[in-house]
Every structure is written in C-alpha cells, then in structure tokens.
Structure 1
C-alpha cells in the first residue's frame, strides 16, 4: 500500500519499531516520496502520528530516529506528529522513568492508510506484531470518504501534538495550549482538544447527512462507522456504542468478543451478565501466555 501510494500516506500508531521489517516499511514510504518528486507530484503528503513518550523511548534508536531520514530528505512532504498526554505533567513527568510514564496516557490509534485504501488494526508497527502475534487486520479498499475522514482526524490531532523536526527536536503549534508546561491549567488543553475533535466530527456528520439526502442507499448492505474514544476529552463514542450493542441485543443475537487481554470494565460485566439478552462468545489468550 505505502510503496504504491500516489496521493497520500497516513499512519497513526502507538510507536514504530526499529528492526528489519520496520526499516522496510520506511523504505517503502521513501519510494513513494521519491516517485512523487520525480513526477512533480506536489500534492503528495505523508502524515505520521505516534505517541510522544513511547515514540521517544530509546537512547540511540527510537521511533523518532527511524523517521528522521524521511523528514530530512522530504521535509516538504513528510510530517511527523507526537501526541503528548496532558495528564503527564509536573511531578509525574519529572520523575517517572521510561516505560512507567506510559501508563499515564497514550495515543493508541492504529490507522494505516494509503490513498483511498486503509487498514484498521489493533497492532502497532513493530516486528513482534508482524511475526509472532495474532491480531486484527481489516483492509478497506477504494473508500475515499472514510479515508478522507481518517486523514482529517490525524491532522486534527496534530493541532495539539508536537511536530518532529529533522534534527530530532520538536516544535509545538503556535497558539495551541501546551499539554504540560504548567503555565495553563490542564483543563484548558483538554477543552481545546475536545473542541478540535468535536468540530471535525460535526463537519463530517453534516457532510454525510447532505450526501444521504442526494443518494440512494437501497443497494448498500454494509455500513462503516468510525468510533473515537478519547476519554480525557469527554469523547466516548466507542464506549457508548459498545454499551448499546450489549444492552439492546435480542435473544436471537450473537455477540463475539475477542481480546488479547480480556479485562472488561465493571460496567461492561454488568451489561453482559445482567442487561443483555444476547449469547456471547469470547476469544482471549490462554493463561499460559501471561
């Protein structure tokens, strides 16, 4: 997908690994950028969103250093964003070491998009996920509307994320509340982020409503809904829809749940046991792998 991209490459992940397969992915992005340069394709763009703390982990080699050659060679086409949770600040930011600081909050979106094709996955861009793990990889082809939305989503998050520079420093967007510098209350940042994402979703809802009025969906048998969960910003689409799936199901419904670590919240447990009429089938990891 990335090697053959002609319009855009959009990636959102917790982090990018540093092994052979990840290097091959970087080379495929570089190939697409080089072809765009040769074809004078000025509209070609690459957006990469990673988590700041996880993406910065490593003294000599990290997600950031992996992407620096792309930034340096194609700085007019490649943008790398590092989201920093607003909850890691003050005492915790100063004293929590690597790995431990990641429990405070993370960017956990997984979007792998090229042109109008994309993969939704639970896997990060890491050698271990590519080789010895089972995970979900669902590819959607020729979905321009959803691809545009996902691209807009990543770019919206970039408005309150650090922008990586080719010398491995970062620049924060001017005018946006800082996630941790302490000069502003944490709620100012959260309100800004909530407003940014809410405006994006409102725009797309209005756009979709307008499209529905002018189209015939009688032949459509599948609907795809993006669900955003950003609890810190009071955006809980995934939580709300999951609750409704559990509580509104009929006795003839079957609900399939799969997770590498099956740790339902107490609310979800209550919905499943006491408030749902569906039959549940659960797939999770064996205790021997813990």
Structure 2
C-alpha cells in the first residue's frame, strides 16, 4: 500500500515499535521462499516521499506511549523523517487530559497510560484503509493474533478515517525538531532532542474536554449517513454491485462521546459471538448478556499465557492473573443467572460459553463481535476496530470502531435459521439491495459475492476457535494482592 501511495499516507496507532530496530512500515510475501514476513525500515516511507513531491505522511500516536524515555522511543524514531521532509511529514501525539495537575507531575512513564490513551488503529494510503486492533511492532507481524480488515479503493470510507484523525490533530501535540524553535508556543515543551508543540495557545491541553466534545459531535453529525462499500463480483461479464453498510463508532468517554455504548447495548441483544484479548467486559454489557435469555453468546478471550503482559516484570506481570479474576467473577454471574452453556432439547447448545485462546509462543489481541441469526447461520454483521469492550475502552481510551452490516436477502435457506435478519433492531440498519436495474443473472452473482464475504467472516471465527478451548480459569488461583491491585486500579484494565 505504501509503495502505491500517491497523495497521502495516514497512520494511527498507539505507538510504533522499535525493539531490535524492527520498525514495521510494510511487508511482502517472498515468492521464492514461500510465505515469509519481511520488515522494512523507515526507508520505505522516506523513499516514497523523496520520489513523489506531492506525497504527505500523517502519523497520529499516543503521546505517553510514544515518548517513553530511551533512544528507541517512537518520537525519536520519527525525527529523521520529520527533519528530512519538514513540510510533508506531520506527527500528532494525543495526550489524555484526564491525567493533570499534581498527578501528571508525579506519575512515572509507563504508568501514565493508565489515565487514557489514543487507541485508534487506522492504516491508510490514498483511498485504501486497513482497520485493525494491532499496533506497529514486531510481535503483531510475527506471533500475535489480531484482526485486519482491508478496504480497497473506497474514497468515502478512507476520507472519513482521514478526517477523523485530522479532527483530533487539532487537540494533539505536534512533533518538531529542536532546530525549529519558531514552533515553541504556550503549553509546548521540549523533551530530549525534540519539541512537542501545542497547536492552540488559547486553551490549556488539560482543559480541552468541552471543545473536543463539540468537535466530535459536529464531525459525526456531518457524516451521519453510513458509508457504502461496493462489492464487485469476480465475473467480468456481470460487474454487478451490492452495498455493504459501514457505521463508524467513536467512543471517547472522557469527552462524553459514548456511541459504542449505545450501539453495543443494541447489538448485545442479538449477539452470537464476541472476542477480546483482554476480557473484562464493561459491566453494562455483562448485564445485557446475562439478561438476554433468548440470545446465545460464545466468548473467546486470551489465556494467561497468551496475554501480552504474561511474564512482565513488576505490577504488569499480575495483569493476566487480574483478567482471570474478572473471568471468574463473570462466570459466577453466568451460573447465578442460569445461563451456563448446555445442550437444549433441540440438540443445539444454549447459554453463554467462555473459551480461552492459547497457541504455543503466541499472544492474543483480537477483538470484535460477530452476529448471526442463529448458531448455524453465517454472520450478517461484525464489529471491528480498536475497542476492547471493557471499562477502560468505555471511559478512558479514545476508540474508533465500525459496524459492518452485510447483504442478507439470501438468508441461509438451506440452514436451520430460526430468526430472520429483520429481527435485528432498526438501529442496526440491515441494508436494502439496490439491484433493480440489474439482470437476474447479475443479481445472483452479486448475491454470491455477498455470501462469500459472510463465509469469510465465518472462516475468521473458525480460525480463532481453532486455537481456543474450554475456559480453565475456575481452577486458577488469584492472589489477594492481585485483587487489591485491581481494586486500586479500578477501571484502568
């Protein structure tokens, strides 16, 4: 994608990894060695900028995570690129205003992320976009399971993502070299060998809550119409189209923007499967799942060894054990509600099932929801993006996710479908097909394309479950000191 860039590259991530100089900007599959991952240096973007004078690169990152002390920080990593192309490389770093006052001065690096991060994961080039939950570092490209949805040649969708990032750039610090002293302004600061410039001298970066809320409300209101993704059939003789609806969901709880909660409260009433790398479901979502007796829910979460914090030093090493505590508490509530997974008289399984994902030497970071009319039907909807579906995502981090609603007029007639897609609440907006001018044969081809996409989503679920097994957390001990840590951290996990 980057090598094809003509006008813009826009990257949004929590941070960009630098461990062992494995800066990830792209990768390719080697034909002569089979499938193998190749990691590029900053030369990839630098080269494209040098040969394409009209090309701009935009980075949107979390300030605390990207400015950790040390030579390998993301900020220092980007400085050479910024210095070489000062007018065409734009680096914005968002800092959560929830950490302010005395706490902002005394909380050490690494722990300061507990008050909220920039968490949106968008990787775009011109009109191509990859939406993921992954960051740009070595583990995600080698041995960490995540989700990646690539939208090719979708100008409306790409422009939405770009404009979302530009909206937040107005409330983010901008990275500059210390050689550019003209950018120093009120609330800016110098750190090591770079400057973090605050763009609006009239408002303190700790007091942006109301302005961000107003900007996001206006932004979403002006783009309320759902993006439409056109599905092309592979048949050159048909070239028929069918729309897939994409609904953007912004969750920025600290700015009173809670679209995720509104949407998920609706979706959980029809949820069929969900997954999260860090299982600590937001309490309102748990209550909905437990109270919706007509809905069956299969959950996949990381096992302790597949948690990215497994084996970490200090307090962070207790995090996998902390998630075991959350899982135990949730499963006790499932039992009290009489919703434990069991076989019904019809032969189908009903209730709530918790599995744990475990693959030797791998970690698990995938997150999302898949909605099916029944346990035997293909998915008709998926939620994807950055959210972990937990309290932290709801209240502290800034998240961008999407709901994709798939064409569903050909509803698994050959399968045991007990509910129609029409049963989905109106807010889910199952799309109407716009094929009135097409021939019967082209309509069938388009339907086949939509069905193929639903099958691919099912394949994604099957691949995740391939490495999942029955939850074993009931047999794991959780130390009192870990419970005390969770009480202290409250919604930070």
**TM-score per shorter chain, which class?**
0.7 to 0.9
Equivalent of residue 93 in structure 2, options 56, 73, 82: 82
Equivalents in 2 of 1:160, 1:226: separation in Å?
20
1:114-173 C-alpha deviation (Å, 9 max, x unpaired): 111111111111112222100011111111001001101111101011010023111111
Equivalents in 2 of 1:46, 1:148: separation in Å?
15
Matched residue SS, 2:222: helix
- Contact 2:198/2:205, CA 8 A, preserved across alignment: no
Task: Say what the alpha-carbon RMSD is for the aligned residues.
Answer: 2.0
Equivalents in 2 of 1:22, 1:256: separation in Å?
34
- Contact 2:6/2:126, CA 8 A, preserved across alignment: yes
- Contact 1:13/1:49, CA 8 A, preserved across alignment: yes
**Which residue of 1 is the match for residue 317 of structure 2?**
none
Equivalents in 1 of 2:98, 2:293: separation in Å?
35
| Match status 1:241 vs 2:260 | no
**Which residue of 1 is the match for residue 246 of structure 2?**
224
Equivalents in 2 of 1:221, 1:152: separation in Å?
22
Equivalent of residue 76 in structure 2, options 62, 65, 69: 65
| Match status 1:191 vs 2:192 | no
Give runs of aligned pairs for residues 114-153 of structure 1, distance below 5 A: 114-153=125-164
Equivalents in 1 of 2:243, 2:220: separation in Å?
24
- Contact 1:160/1:177, CA 8 A, preserved across alignment: no
**Which residue of 2 is the match for residue 35 of structure 1?**
51
**Which residue of 2 is the match for residue 279 of structure 1?**
296
Equivalents in 1 of 2:303, 2:115: separation in Å?
27
- Once the 2 structures are TM-superposed, how far is the Cα of residue 21 of structure 1 from its aligned partner? 3.1
- Once the 2 structures are TM-superposed, how far is the Cα of residue 220 of structure 1 from its aligned partner? 3.0
Equivalents in 2 of 1:146, 1:225: separation in Å?
10
Please identify, of 25-34 and 137-146, the stretch whose mean Cα deviation from structure 2 is larger: 25-34
**Which residue of 2 is the match for residue 174 of structure 1?**
200
**Which residue of 2 is the match for residue 21 of structure 1?**
22
| Match status 1:111 vs 2:122 | yes
- Contact 1:119/1:138, CA 8 A, preserved across alignment: yes
- Contact 1:113/1:119, CA 8 A, preserved across alignment: yes
- Kindly tell me: are residues 46 and 141 of structure 1, through their superposed partners in 2, closer, same or farther at Cα, counting changes over 3 Å? same
- Kindly tell me: are residues 53 and 288 of structure 1, through their superposed partners in 2, closer, same or farther at Cα, counting changes over 3 Å? closer
Structure 1 unmatched runs, 5+:
181-185, 212-217
Q: Which one has the largest radius of gyration?
A: 2
1:194-247 C-alpha deviation (Å, 9 max, x unpaired): 111222112222xx48x9xxxxxx953421111111111111112211111012
**Which residue of 1 is the match for residue 275 of structure 2?**
258
Matched residue SS, 1:99: coil
Equivalents in 2 of 1:276, 1:50: separation in Å?
41
Higher helix content, 1 or 2: 1
Equivalents in 1 of 2:93, 2:275: separation in Å?
29
Structure 2 unmatched runs, 5+:
25-39, 179-193, 229-239, 307-319, 321-493
| Match status 1:5 vs 2:5 | yes
Q: TM-score, normalised by structure 2?
A: 0.51
Equivalents in 1 of 2:293, 2:198: separation in Å?
46
Equivalent of residue 201 in structure 1, options 216, 220, 233: 220
